[in-house]
A and B are shown apart, each in its own frame.
Chain A
Amino acid sequence: MKRSRWLGLAGLILIAPVLADDVTIADASREAFSQPMSGLSETELAAFMRGRTLFRQAWVVSPAQDIAAGLGPLYNRLSCIACHAKNGRGQPPETPADRMQSMLVRLSVPGVGPHGGPNPHPAYGDQFNEEGVPGVPGEGRVNLRWDEKVVVLADGTKVSLRQPRLVFTELAYGPLDGALTSPRIAQPVYGSGLLDAVSESTLFALVAETKPDGVKGRVNWVWNAAKGGIALGRLGWKANMPDLRQQSAGAMIGDLGITSPLFPKQNCTPAQTACQQAALGPQPELSTAQLNDLVAYQAHLAVPARRDTESPAVKAGEARFAQMGCAVCHRPTLHTDAKAADPLLAGREIHPYSDLLLHDMGTGLSDGRPDFMASGQEWRTPPLWGIGLAGKINGKVFFLHDGRARNYEEAILWHGGEARVARDRFAKLGASDRMALQAFLDSL
């Protein structure tokens, strides 16, 4: 009975074609996340190149004779690429003494903030900025400590799982007592334009579908700053951002302290007087044209094509992935909106291995911090495309929103809540099935 239902799930998987097309590239080198889509016109390619320069650009303290002036007053890193190394994912610090080089901590206090979003901490705002320009104290230091626990799989294999604890020191603007925190590693940015182009109705249809294993899934409703209204969330670990443009302008202000037409105000709280008084250059620091280029760059980064799809282990792993119910959330195939603004991205079949929906993942993964409609336990299914190249491109590789998982196995074993049934099926697999699943994930 149970068995047959498992097999039934396999029907959900449409076998994903692997051929390179205009938006997918057959490249397995360390530059695989950095290639333009092949279907770009010359004008689009030029914008892509300019956007790439902005994405890699180290921003400098004002005043300066530089196209990239205006860093801070408070910030995390100097460039987008610092966190999204090679357009890939970030990682948590290796030791408790190391600084966060490619992750950040979101902050809030209980209650609802402006536009239904997180309620910013009165002194620290909605993100912990460790750095300040000269004369402006950075907000302090945050480090990660790990607590480990061991889980035992059905075949007796022991897996050690670790969970982070935040340690704040050198707090410059008073205590952080009672703050809600959410440590997050940087996400890969390739393919984000395609995710952006998935229509609302597609997502509503996914929500409405009856799904096995107690899986539900819902959309996040967030604030669209450009339209001044509520919009559906697509990007970020909690689908907390409506689109690539706002995500980019949001990263500019939140992570680098760069103002833009979308977010023209510096990110200083009333308690941060030095920040408010810091000398500023011409505003906004990022022009509309630059924001357009930055968005064009990310939207037009090609997605790496799958590899080794014919290997027996990969095929076996793909079957397990479907049978265990992973594909219920990690959807192999979605379609982008036929009417999406960017014709290159419109009306495409894509293979992100995500439904872009929020799922309750249980208390183990909870950050206890609501983000618009998403509760502490809810997270957006992260796309898995390109995940098999992450190790090669980003060196040591870490999974899940805070980088706690050191390999696929740990990532899967942390799945709870709506993914509990799938997780338990995984824990029952024998070693060879687990290796097959790994081979499949490596082929993405």
Chain B
Amino acid sequence: MQSNSHDAGRRRFLTGLAGVTGALAFGKAYAAPRPVVVMTSYQGEVMDRFEAAFERAHPEYRLNILWRMPHDALPWLEKPEQGGVDVYWAASPRNFERLKKEGAWRKLGVDSAGLTDKIGKNRLADADGYFRATEMAGYGFAVNTSRLAKLGLPVPADWNDLTAPKLAGLIALPIPSRVGFAPVMVDIVLQAYGWEKGWALWSEIAGLSVLVDRGSTFVTDEIASGRAAVGLSIDFFVASAIANGSPIRFVYPGHGGINPGQIAITAGAPNPDGAQAFAAFVLSEAGQRLLADPDIRKLPVRPAVYAGLPADYPRPFVAAERGAYDYDESVGLNRLTLLGQVFDAMLIRRHGELVGLWQRLHTAEAAGKDMSAVRRELCTPPLTELEAADPALMRLYRDKVEGATTAPGDVEARWNALCDSHIARAMQGLAEAVA
């Protein structure tokens, strides 16, 4: 396809010199810029800024953007010659790993001077040199501080602060199986607190939450309006709203996580030189500085760039030294979709009832009752960590990427049944406790 449009480019060049009445052809010899085809899922502001800056820095090239969500990008990049794409640039670590195994990339070959290969436990560069992180996004909490103050609650510093009963109905929770960035969040908590404690935390947090679906309100709407006090989010969504004047604050929790956006050049790139020029530009000082634009607000991977950023800009490399980024994404990589489905079965499917149950439980506890048995029911996931690590089960879910919909198979039916029985016993336990 690309070879087609490349020919077309040349043809256009030949026919294009015909002038237009009232218009003027370039006086000098004019060479049509060669296309660099970039497949991406970045929001428009990112692409618009990089397009303008790259084309100005490299007038010999013209960016041709093919926008696709990660689950749609994958089959395209699995076509022969990667479907004519030169560069893949996106925040989808799973696509980069998988396509690497399939031989879709060539070595990036961009000068790595001034770039680092790791932040915390996260790799920023592929060990074999096929791709590299170009920017990072951090997970955390969007908070409405005045709303929290009215509730008499401190600004949450870590995930376990989100279980305060006063937060009931005031946490905005993106549905992990539906909102691309959210599964990693599920895993951050599981890794930080352990499987059992982690799911217990999620159950209680979900019990206090309102759900945010893809394509509906943004977490920032919920927080800015005060309808919610805390929103689970990723920094740039919130940071650009803050930079643009929204009355919100973003908090990086003690146990944080980084979602890297990465770049790779395809093995079959029709324009490898242009692809390399683009990758090098994105990683250059000039490219990295663009990330701080108030409408983009992502975290540069070139540490030196932070020196020129405002004092209140987040400093992830500094935070990493304090252990804020010990989350190991390589563990998560294979199980993210699975976690999203477990989350659905346990916490989303019957969310309305879950909210009611937690409310009654909190009331009973406030009255001094021992509710540990009911808690246990609400907090137990439908499978153990060991079961979740079963290679057969992992295989079932590994290849499903963000946004793909999975038909509930036998496995999920079993989880649903288990979760239903937990809920039934919790209801019974509560009924007995108040009786």
Contact = CB atoms under 8 A, between A and B. Distances in A.
Contact of A61 (B13, B15, B66, B244): B66
B215 A175 contact: no
B244 A31 contact: yes
Nearest to B404: A65
Given A29-B244, A82-B44, A101-B51, A171 B23 contact: no
A78 B13 CA distance: 24
Interface in A231-251: none
A134 B5 contact: yes
Interface in A52-70: 53, 56, 58-61, 64-67
A49 B221 contact: yes
B11 A169 contact: no
A220 interface: no
A50 interface: yes
B307 to A, nearest CB: 24
Interface string B11-46: 111011111111111100010100001000001110
A93 to B, nearest CB: 9
Contacts of A431: none
Contacts of A85: 45, 48
Contacts of A50: 215-216
Contacts of B26: 167, 169
Interface residues of B, number: 58
B8 interface: yes
Interface in B58-83: 59, 62, 64-69, 71-72, 83
B52 A98 contact: yes
B22 A137 contact: no
A170 B14 CA distance: 7
Nearest to A175: B18
Contact of B48 (A82, A166, A172, A175): A82
B68 A60 contact: yes
A99 B55 contact: yes
A145 B72 CA distance: 39
B314 interface: no
B241 interface: yes
A165 interface: yes
Contacts of B24: 145, 165, 167
Given A64-B72, A66-B69, A49 B241 contact: no
Given A56-B44, A171-B15, A78 B67 contact: yes
A169 B22 contact: no
B245 interface: yes
Contact of B12 (A46, A86, A170): A170
A135 B246 CA distance: 43
A132 B8 CA distance: 10
Contacts of B217: 49
B23 A65 contact: no
Interface residues on A, range: 35 or more
A30 B294 contact: yes
Contact of B4 (A59, A134, A166, A179): A134
A167 B23 contact: yes
Contacts of B51: 99, 101
Given A49-B216, A137-B5, A175-B20, A58 B25 contact: no
B215 A53 contact: yes
Nearest to B40: A58
B210 to A, nearest CB: 13
Contacts of B66: 60-61, 134
A181 B23 CA distance: 10
Centre residue among A50, A81, A95, A134 by max chain B CB count within 10 A? A134
A79 B48 CA distance: 11
B56 interface: yes
B140 interface: no
A64 B75 CA distance: 10
Contacts of A29: 244-246
Contacts of B243: 30
A209 interface: no
Interface string A92-128: 0001011101000000000000000000000000000
B2 interface: yes
A132 B2 CA distance: 12
A78 B12 contact: no
A28 B19 CA distance: 46
A139 B197 CA distance: 59
Contacts of A82: 44, 48
B429 interface: no
A369 to B, nearest CB: 11
A229 interface: no
A140 interface: yes
Contacts of B404: 65
Contacts of A134: 1-2, 4-5, 37, 66, 83-84
B23 A166 contact: yes
B9 interface: yes
B294 to A, nearest CB: 7
A293 B71 CA distance: 26
B11 A172 contact: yes
A247 to B, nearest CB: 20
Q: Looking at B1, B11, B244, which has the most chain A CB atoms within 10 Å of its CB?
A: B244
B16 A140 contact: yes
A223 to B, nearest CB: 27
A437 B246 CA distance: 30
Contacts of B295: 86
Contact of A181 (B22, B25, B55, B241): B22
A165 B72 contact: no
Contacts of A98: 52, 55-56
A18 interface: no
Contacts of A178: 21
Nearest to A48: B217
A168 interface: yes
Contacts of B9: 137, 170
A120 B241 CA distance: 42
Interface string B81-110: 001100000000000000000000000000
26 contacts: A27-B245, A30-B244, A32-B245, A53-B216, A60-B72, A64-B68, A85-B48, A97-B55, A98-B52, A98-B56, A134-B2, A135-B4, A135-B5, A137-B11, A137-B12, A140-B16, A145-B24, A165-B22, A167-B26, A168-B20, A168-B23, A170-B13, A171-B16, A172-B11, A174-B15, A177-B18
